[in-house]
Amino acid sequence: MAIRAEGVIARWSDRLALEPSAPHITLGEGNTPCVESLTIGPSLGLASLHFKLEGLNPTGSFKDRGMVVAVAAALQAGSSAIICASTGNTSASAAAYGGRFGLRTIVVVPRGHIASGKLIQARVHGATVVSIDGAFDLALRVVRELCAHHPVTLVNSVNPYRIEGQKTAAFEIVDELGDAPEVLALPVGNAGNITAYWRGFREEHRDGRATRLPRMLGGQASGAAPLVLGHPVDNPQTVATAIRIGNPASWQGAIDARDQSEGLIESVDDAAILDAQRRIARFEGIFCEPASAASLAVLERAVADGAVAPGTHAVCVLTGNGLKDPGAVEASLSPILEIPADADALARAIEA
Ligand SMILES: *Cc1c(COP(=O)(O)O)cnc(C)c1O
């Protein structure tokens, strides 16, 4: 369908704070499906559970929604280079859009804590990749400092165009489901996305397209849960590298989304995250990355705690594609059956 290739800017141009003269560039981002859960939602007693498949964006994560708008604004401003700090997906997205639209792209990543697929994406699209000895928070500080003195456009989610583009996912959910859900669950790292969704849902409600506002349910990894603890975390640790962040840039946006929506931001441990990831893959046919599964893990925790009632209509945002980070799941998989190349051996092997 032509609508998929239309992209976020053309589809929502009248609702984005972007100069009308900015170029309508696209890689076909947005318009991702909202797929109903057949197994997990019913087993939790929910009235409905949908997964928003953001891993189907062009570079495999929701970052493309905001990146396309940030890059359009950079082009309009006459910029010739973009830069970001990244836990992986921002760098993949910046590199792809930068490469396609003729901008030099520089990405700064925490050494040793980037999923292999994401780092390959940044490199294959032609970005200059710099790794530092330190976590994302330090990389962002270094990049912001550089931007103060060099003519290069920062495309982290502190760039307001990123949040503008990302809010379109909330518009799409209302479009697809006919109303806002009662609960929207998503992972929270640097907290740009929870800020963006909350803005998007409020705009839908204000304009009469949604009859209600969802409660926002944020999932942080227990080793990287500054918003749950109420203070920054110096050395954040989690297998979910996309949310391995100790001092979120959009801290206040996340707190506002939580409090104004009467929602929650809770932590879930790595075992719960990986277990949720495995079940989404096994029973729903969707391979998301570990961070994405924090959305389901936190929803399950809230149902178990009684904070979310059975009979609720919920959506989990599956923020990124599991193919980016096969190493995170490999150890938990059952072994491959190795047999000689003959039909009898095959029959014996699959009997059990
Ligand atoms: C960036 C990212 C997140 C975290 O989003 P924030 O806006 O930083 O809170 C979660 N999951 C995936 C897959 C991501 O790429």
- Residue 285 is predicted with a pLDDT of 98
Three-class secondary structure of residue 155 per DSSP: coil
Q: Give residues with Cβ within 8 angstroms of 114, minimum separation 6.
A: 86, 87, 88, 91, 131, 241
Instruction: Tell me what percent of the residues of the chain surpass a pLDDT of 70.
Output: 99
pLDDT tens digits, residue range 123-174?
999 999 999 999 999 999 999 999 999 999 999 999 999 999 999 999 999 9
226 CB within 6 A, ligand 1: no
pLDDT tens digits, residue range 197-250?
999 999 999 999 999 999 999 999 999 999 999 999 999 999 999 999 999 999
The answer, yes or no, to whether residue 2 has pLDDT greater than 80, is: no
Dihedral of alpha carbons 111, 247, 98, 325, sign: positive
Give distance in angstroms: CA of 16 to centre of ligand 1. Answer: 21
Instruction: Tell me what percent of the residues of the chain surpass a pLDDT of 90.
Output: 98
| Token pair in block for residue 247 | 């001092």
- Ligand 1: residue whose CA is nearest its atom 8: 190
Q: Identify the band that residue 83 occupies on the pLDDT scale cut at 50, 70 and 90.
A: very high
pLDDT tens digits, residue range 20-76?
999 999 999 999 999 999 999 999 999 999 999 999 999 999 999 999 999 999 999
The answer, yes or no, to whether residue 1 has pLDDT greater than 50, is: no
Q: Which of 61, 119, 198 to mutate to test the pocket of ligand 1 (most atoms within 8 A of CB)?
A: 61
| Token pair in block for residue 319 | 């923020």
End-to-end Cα, the chain, rounded Å = 44
Least confident among 58-62, 75-79, 194-198, 333-337: 333-337
Three-class secondary structure of residue 61 per DSSP: strand
- Number of helices followed by number of strands (H, E) in the chain: 15, 10
Task: Indicate the DSSP class of residue 321.
Answer: B
Q: How far is CA 213 from the centre of its chain?
A: 21
- Using an 8 Å Cβ cutoff, are 136 and 244 in contact? yes
115 CB within 6 A, ligand 1: no
| Token pair in block for residue 243 | 């949310």
- Ligand 1: residue whose CA is nearest its atom 2: 242
- Residue 3 is predicted with a pLDDT of 47
pLDDT tens digits, residue range 266-307?
999 999 999 999 999 999 999 999 999 999 999 999 999 999
pLDDT mean over 79-103: 98
- Ligand 1: residue whose CA is nearest its atom 4: 189
Q: Identify the band that residue 175 occupies on the pLDDT scale cut at 50, 70 and 90.
A: very high
The answer, yes or no, to whether residue 5 has pLDDT greater than 80, is: no
